[in-house]
Amino acid sequence: MDTKFYKLLLAINLFVTIGLCLAYYKSNKIKPDFTNDIIKVRGIVVVDSSGVERVIIGSPLPDPTIHGYRISRGDYGSISGIMLYDSEGQERGGYVTDNGYGNIFLTLDSKTQQNALFMADPHGGAAIQVWGRNGNKISLSAGDEDIYLDLTKNNKALKFKTDEE
Amino acid sequence: MLGCEKNNKNIQQLVAINPLSYTDVAFSSIKDTVFVSTYSGRISKRIKEQDKEELLIQLKDEVYSLQYSDKQNLVIASTLKSGILFIDVHTGEIKKTLQIKKDTWLNSIFLSKDDNYLIGFDTKGNNHIWDLNNDYKKLDFKKELPNSFIRYVDKLGAFYYQTQGKYIKWNPTDKRIEKEYKISGKLVDINDNGDFLLLNFNEFRMFNSKADSLEFKNKHPYYIYKYSNGDTVHDPYQLKLTAARFTMDKIYTSSLDQSIRVWNKIDGTLIDEWYLHNATISDIDISKNQKQLVSVDLKGEIRFWDLK
């Protein structure tokens, strides 16, 4: 009597366990389907095969790391948008708005500094700037009142005639 | 990192961390054994010719700078939010925490060779000097030396402050300036002769403090681009230097160009170039007997170099 009861109990146990395993396996195979959903999140991170964060869409975006440490964007430097990172995790450029004044800008950075900036002011006007080290810089901007073209070579401004005819 | 679940009670933050990157390295023995740190809060022991790390502690914080105290058998770590931590190298237990003001941190800390002083400055520009032999008492010379940044403590206990195009050698006991040097750059090492080794973006400078003169300055002459088949080509870029150290007769510099260059300390001529790393070399350290150099990079590679 006892043996029969235990055999039955064991069979039920096995049956339930196999059922649970199958249910768990099947549930893991189901991929979430967001095609009809609107996804609302504070951030999205894309990582590469090594786990290095390569793209972040977020608000606010984190402070940048640089060669083994982290630097602050400053008290008024908070930004939101899309940022790209190289394979070492170094911030290399983004398409962002700042969380204070309201500029929107597109930046391209080397491993040590910002080298290109395309920016629009919230009140009108826009500017393009490209620069290297050692005081080489080209600025092009247009506002409601005027336009500007500034070229600086080795920290010396190159002179242009304005409104040349 | 961020899920789509509703009502997530944990406030998650974007961090932009490369978990592979080694941020710093410090020898903990005469050779072959070091401690390394990561942005993701790992502090581990690495032993030459062993592939795996031996985890000392996993912090829920970022670690930027490491120092090893021989006297106390402690690893000292500078973190983003937890201040400065003193960690027992045998148990991984945090023995002491030095608090730093909120929203600031120290990217680099320096322990004097006699383990008496721990120094650094935070991201808001405040100097921090702790007297480790005097119950971690903080020393403050802000009134005497305004707008200056502490960079180094020499073997005799003199402090070196950087300020507006010059360095000040400060005697903390007598509270007086011993000497001023007209040299700029980040002071990273002082050798037994009192020579300074400084970094200025992509250039290193060797300054003779006794003669008060710049002996020489130099840059990595080119970037060594490596093709997948092993061939190399020299590109004429001089990238930023990340670390530099003296030995008795040589200078070693590391760079964003993924190489270490070896220089003659007397005249600054290039002796050798090592380019086995495949990422930015974040730091180097040299063993106390100067017979081994260790280098770490931002993709988690570590290399031990036996010095001649």
User: Going edge to edge, which strands form the sheet with B84-88?
Assistant: B63-69, B74-79, B84-88, B94-98
Task: Tell me how close the Cα of B290 comes to any Cα of chain A, in angstroms.
Answer: 24
| Residue-number span of the structural domain to which B301 is assigned | 218-308
Q: For tokens 């930027």, name the residue.
A: B64
Find the mean pLDDT for residues A130-137. 92
Report CA-CA distances (Å) from B308 to B80, B199, B225, B247.
38, 24, 26, 11
Q: Which residues contact A32 (CB under 8 A, 6 or more apart)?
A: none
**A85 class by beta-carbon count within 10 Å (0-12 exposed, 13-18 middle, 19+ buried):** buried
- How much is the pLDDT for A162? 61
Q: What is the dihedral of CA B12, B45, A69, B165, to 10 degrees?
A: 160
Could you say which of A53, A87, A112 has the minimum Cβ distance to residue B16? A53
CB within 8 A of A71, min separation 6: which ones? Answer: A63, A64, A65, B107, B123
Over residues B131-152, the mean pLDDT reads 96
Closest chain A C-alpha to B280 CA, distance in angstroms:
7
| Rg (alpha carbons) of chain B, rounded to whole number | 20
Radius of gyration, alpha carbons of chain A: 29
Q: How many structural domains does chain B have?
A: 1
Chain B residue set in contact with A, beta carbons under 8 Å: 1-2, 4, 12-24, 39, 62, 64-65, 80, 103, 105, 107-108, 123, 201, 239-240, 242, 256, 279-280, 282-283, 298-299
pLDDT at A65: 93
Give the gap in angstroms from C-alpha B179 to the nearest C-alpha of chain A: 31
The whole-number pLDDT of residue B155 equals 92
- Residue B15 in any domain: the answer is no
Nearest to B17 among A68, A87, A89 (CB): A89
Is residue B10 in some structural domain? no
Within a domain: B45: no
**DSSP state letters, B206-253:** EEETTTTEEEEEEE---EEEE-TTS-EEEE---PPEEEEEE-SSEEEE
Interface of A with B in 41-70 (CB under 8 A): 41-45, 50-53, 56, 58, 60-65, 67-70
Whether B3 shows a pLDDT value over 60: the answer reads: no
Indicate whether B253 belongs to any domain: yes
Neighboring chain B residues of A39 at a CB cutoff of 8 Å: 4
User: Distance from CA of residue B96 to its chain's centroid?
Assistant: 21
Distance from CA of A44 to the nearest CA of B (A): 7
pLDDT classification of B1: cutoffs 50, 70, 90: very low
Residues B35/B56, Cβ–Cβ less than 8 Å: yes
* B260-264 sheet: strands from edge to edge: B241-246, B250-255, B260-264, B270-274
pLDDT surpassing 50 at residue B5 = no
Closest residue in B to A64 (Cα) is B16
Three-state SS for B92-121 is: CCEEEEECCCCCCCECCCEECCCCCEEEEE
* Among A59, A54, A110, A84, CA closest to B18: A54
Rounded distance, CA B130 to CA A90, Å? 32
DSSP A49: T
Question: What pLDDT is stored for residue A7 in this prediction?
Answer: 87
- With a pLDDT cut of 70, the percent of chain A lying above it is 95
pLDDT of residue A150: 92
pTM: 0.89
Please report whether residue B103 resides in a domain.
no
Q: Is A141 left (phi over 0), alpha (psi -120 to 50) or beta?
A: beta
Residues 76-95 of A with CB under 8 A from B: 83, 85, 87-91
| Residue B61: pLDDT over 70 | yes
In this complex, do B13 and A62 lie within 8 Å of one another by their Cβ atoms?
yes
For residue A104, the tally of other CB atoms under 10 A from its CB is 16
Q: Average pLDDT for residues B261-277, to the nearest whole number?
A: 97
The pLDDT value recorded for residue B157 is: 95
**pLDDT average, residue stretch B195-219:** 97
User: In angstroms, how far is the first alpha carbon of chain A from the final one?
Assistant: 113
* Cis peptide bond N-terminal to A60, omega within 30: yes
Tell me, what's the ipTM?
Answer: 0.89
Which CATH number characterizes residue B256's domain? Answer: 2.40.10.480
pLDDT tens per residue across span A63-93: 999 999 999 998 889 999 999 999 999 999 9
Query: Does residue B229 lie within any of the structural domains?
Result: yes
pLDDT, mean of residues B174-181: 97
Cα separation, B24 vs B308, whole angstroms: 24
Site of tokens 């150290």: B245
- Asked if A70's CB is within 8 angstroms of B105's CB, the reply is yes
Tell me how far apart the alpha carbons of residues A112 and B114 are, in angstroms, rounded to a whole number.
Answer: 34
Q: What is the pLDDT of residue A19?
A: 86
User: What is the C-alpha separation between A115 and A109, in angstroms, rounded?
Assistant: 5
Nearest to A43 among B2, B105, B279 (CB): B2
Residue A26: pLDDT band with limits 50, 70, 90: confident
Question: Does some domain include residue B224?
Answer: yes
Mean pLDDT of B227-246: 95
Terminal CA-CA length for chain B: 47
What confidence category does residue A31 fall into, taking pLDDT thresholds of 50, 70 and 90?
confident
Tokens at B182, concatenated: 């007209």
Q: What is the predicted pLDDT for the residue at A1?
A: 57
Instruction: Establish if B273 belongs to a structural domain.
Output: yes
Q: Which amino acid is at B240?
A: K
